[in-house]
Structure 1
Amino acid sequence: MMKINGFNNYELEGSFIYFIFSKDLLYIGETQKITFSRWVQHFYKSGTFSKKIKKHGIIGVDYISDVKLLSVELIELREEFPELRWKTLTQAIEHSLHVEFSRSQTKLIKNYYEKYEPEVNRFNLVSDTSRTCPKSISNNDWKYAENFAKNIINHLCNFL
């Protein structure tokens, strides 16, 4: 027996935050398309994650063979806000996650690294939001993004 599924273009869209874990490296990104399309781009030789491995990785460590990928679909964001604001708010949430993990690695160390990479006691956040961080959004939108980021961290840690 065989089951074949087809997908329409609209089924490949959404607001997503994704995580790429490999050894001591963590990459956080966002996309408005289904996450696997972004992950694939990261692993090309000229892809962002591949470049980060060369810059921040430990020489001789095979980061690509030890990759773990997680994705969070921001369904609530798309239900609560008009389409015009989806990308900006997704970028604000991505930036807020970077801020949270820059402040404290404790939750992720305890919930992910102790289980999957016990030899790692501090991870290196290799992604960067300096070019994509929204420059002019309201304080209420920033509060929304910060709360959403904290919620993602809690759900992520419970998932792990």
Structure 2
Amino acid sequence: MENLKKAYLAGGCFWGMEDLFRVRPGVKDTTVGYLGGQNESPTYENHPGHAEGIEILYDANATSYKELLDYFFRVHDPTTLDQQGNDMGSSYRSALFIQNEQESRDAMEIIKIVEDSKRWAGRVVTTLEPFRKFWPAEEYHQDYLVKKPNGYTCHFERFGTFL
């Protein structure tokens, strides 16, 4: 029997993050959207303070929140403030949108492991922000790199597991 949960992550342009997470073991579905901003019903053209992020529906019997975070810290640079690749601004920040105390503890534990590993040259700047609401992005953004396989992404697996 599946034990379905959701995780909310932001690590730069949502297209690349979604494309990598969609095929992870235990991941059932991904949706790109906006998190942590100042307005209701954000759009691509109007999302002040929102991060481009992803909602990950996963089977907790097949993968864990810590394993999702482990992968998250391997596919984007968590040491660049408000930037991934060519994308700059707070929309492209590295952030975890925390739903409960256990996620907070897991996130802090994984961040410590990532920093202690010294694999990244700088310190982790990933923010832990309270989850309030996820706003799905426009349909043309969903599964974008499946629709446009040669589209832009700055996300790729840089090295093996931290765990």
Q: Which has the higher contact order (CA 8 A, sep 6+)?
A: 2
* TM-score normalized by the length of structure 1: 0.29
Q: Higher helix proportion, which one?
A: 1
Bigger Rg, which one: 1
* TM-score normalized by the length of structure 2: 0.29
